[in-house]
């Protein structure tokens, strides 16, 4: 009888250990599911390329449209920043040159013979991409970068970066400008 009880206790301990071990693995699997993010597709590349091409056809005057490019092609955050900067300049710098002293899409005040070339798309993730290209305007070539994000299933511009001689990160500069303007208000 002692052997039977000892055998049952040993079997119970082993079985309990196995169950706890399996239960622990089950818990770990539920805590951190192995979810694969979708990879960017050829369609994503085509969509982004078409958006960049269309934007520069519009700002270069090749296509005439009655739309707000920022509202149509840009992220909500970008649109909000541009709107805040424009509102600030209207209220505080009316009649003066404000933050936007040139067309940020063209990085110039004047334009002509606008085109883009050497479009290269680097996906940081399935939801973000950097688009590098060369902007041609009035005989100048400016290396540019547009940061794209996938917002609500739609690729949109989230930043404009001039990588040329007068390098500028527009989103960063707008945020800095608004912060400085707020400091002036407090003085």
d(CA 80, CA 90): 15
pLDDT digits (tens, 9 = 90+) for 64-122: 888 889 999 999 999 999 999 999 988 887 778 778 888 899 988 888 999 999 999 99
**Given pLDDT bands bounded at 50, 70 and 90, which one contains residue 37?**
low
pLDDT over 60 (residue 4): no
46 phi/psi in degrees, rounded to 5: -65, -40
- Two tokens, residue 94: 């009316």
- Two tokens, residue 41: 């597709």
**Given pLDDT bands bounded at 50, 70 and 90, which one contains residue 43?**
confident
CA dist list (Å): 130 to 33, 44, 106, 127, 168: 29, 12, 18, 11, 15
Q: Which of 63 and 156 is assigned the larger pLDDT?
A: 156
Give the residue carrying structure tokens 């707020």. Answer: 182
pLDDT digits (tens, 9 = 90+) for 134-145: 999 999 999 999
d(CA 119, CA 53): 9
The reported pLDDT for the residue numbered 101 is 82
pLDDT over 70 (residue 5): no
pLDDT over 70 (residue 54): yes
How high is the mean pLDDT of the chain?
82
Helices (H), 60-166: 69-73, 76-92
pLDDT over 60 (residue 63): yes
DSSP-assigned letter for residue 38: P
CB atoms within 10 A of CB 107: 19
The reported pLDDT for the residue numbered 34 is 46
CATH architecture of 42-186: Roll (3.10)
d(CA 154, CA 47): 9
């Amino acid at each position: 009888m002692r052997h039977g009880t000892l055998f049952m206790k040993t079997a119970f301990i082993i079985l309990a250990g196995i169950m706890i071990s399996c239960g622990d693995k089950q818990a770990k699997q539920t805590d951190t599911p192995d979810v694969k993010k979708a990879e960017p597709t050829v369609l994503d590349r085509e969509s982004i390329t078409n958006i960049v091409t269309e934007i520069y056809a519009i700002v270069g005057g090749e296509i005439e449209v009655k739309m707000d490019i920022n509202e149509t092609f840009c992220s909500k955050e970008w649109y909000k920043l541009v709107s805040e900067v424009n509102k600030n300049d209207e209220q505080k710098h009316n009649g003066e040159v404000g933050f936007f002293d040139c067309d940020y899409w063209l990085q110039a005040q004047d334009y002509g013979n606008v085109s883009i070339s050497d479009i290269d798309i680097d996906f940081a993730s399935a939801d973000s991409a950097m688009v590098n290209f060369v902007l041609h305007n009035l005989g100048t070539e400016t290396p540019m970068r547009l940061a794209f994000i996938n917002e609500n299933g739609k690729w949109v511009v989230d930043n404009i970066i001039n990588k040329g001689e007068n390098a500028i990160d527009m989103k960063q500069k707008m945020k800095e400008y608004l912060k400085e303007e707020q400091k002036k208000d407090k003085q």
